Amino acid sequence: MKVLILGVNGFIGYHLTKEILSTTDWEVYGMDIDDNRIKELENSRLHFVEGDIEINKEWIEYHIKKCDVVMPLVAIATPKMYVEDPLSVFHLDFEANLDIIKKCAKYKKRIVFPSTSEVYGISPDAEFDEDKSPLCTGPINKERWIYSASKQLLDRVIWAYGNHENLPFTLFRPFNWVGPKLDSIEIAKEGSSRVVTQFIASLLFKKPIYLVDGGKQMRSFTYISDGIAALIKILKNENNICNKQIINIGNPKNNISIKDLAYLMRDIFSKHEKHKNDKEFSQIIEIDSKEFYGESYQDIYNRKPSIEKAKKLLNWEPTVNLEDALKLSIDAFINEYE
Residue from 184, 280, 269, 178 nearest 219 by CA: 178
pLDDT tens digits, one per residue of 309-332? 999 999 999 999 999 999 999 999
Are the beta carbons of 104 and 40 closer than 8 angstroms? no
User: Is pLDDT above 80 for 84?
Assistant: yes
Through-space distance between the first and last CA atoms of the chain, rounded to whole angstroms: 38
Region 218-224: what's the mean pLDDT?
98
pLDDT tens digits, one per residue of 104-157? 999 999 999 999 999 999 999 999 999 999 999 999 999 999 999 999 999 999
34 falls in which pLDDT band (50, 70, 90)? very high
Q: Per-residue DSSP letters for 154-207? A: HHHHHHHHHHHH---EEEEEE-SEE-TTSS-HHHHHTT-S-HHHHHHHHHHTTP
> Which of 6-10, 45-49, 63-67, 291-295 has the least mean pLDDT?
291-295
Averaged pLDDT score across all residues of the chain = 96
pLDDT tens digits, one per residue of 12-21? 999 999 999 9
74 falls in which pLDDT band (50, 70, 90)? very high
192 falls in which pLDDT band (50, 70, 90)? low
Are the beta carbons of 336 and 182 closer than 8 angstroms? no
Which secondary-structure segment (H or E) carries 229? helix 224-236
CA torsion through residues 325, 327, 329, 332, sign? negative
Maximal CA-CA distance, the chain: 63
Alpha-carbon distance values, 251 to 123, 134, 218, 325 (Å): 18, 20, 13, 11
Reduced 3-state DSSP string for 98-165: HHHHHHHHHHCCEEEEECCHHHHECCCCCCECCCCCCCECCCCCCCCHHHHHHHHHHHHHHHHHHHHH
User: Is pLDDT above 90 for 44?
Assistant: yes
Are the beta carbons of 77 and 116 closer than 8 angstroms? yes
Are the beta carbons of 83 and 147 closer than 8 angstroms? no
303 falls in which pLDDT band (50, 70, 90)? very high
Strand-pairing partners, residue 112, are 170
For residue 146, the model assigns a pLDDT of 97
- The amino acid at residue 249 is I
For residue 190, the model assigns a pLDDT of 64
User: Is pLDDT above 90 for 278?
Assistant: yes
Alpha-carbon distance values, 256 to 113, 206, 253 (Å): 27, 23, 9
> Which value, to the nearest 10 degrees, does the dihedral of the CA atoms of residues 256, 260, 265, 266 take?
180
Are the beta carbons of 48 and 35 closer than 8 angstroms? yes
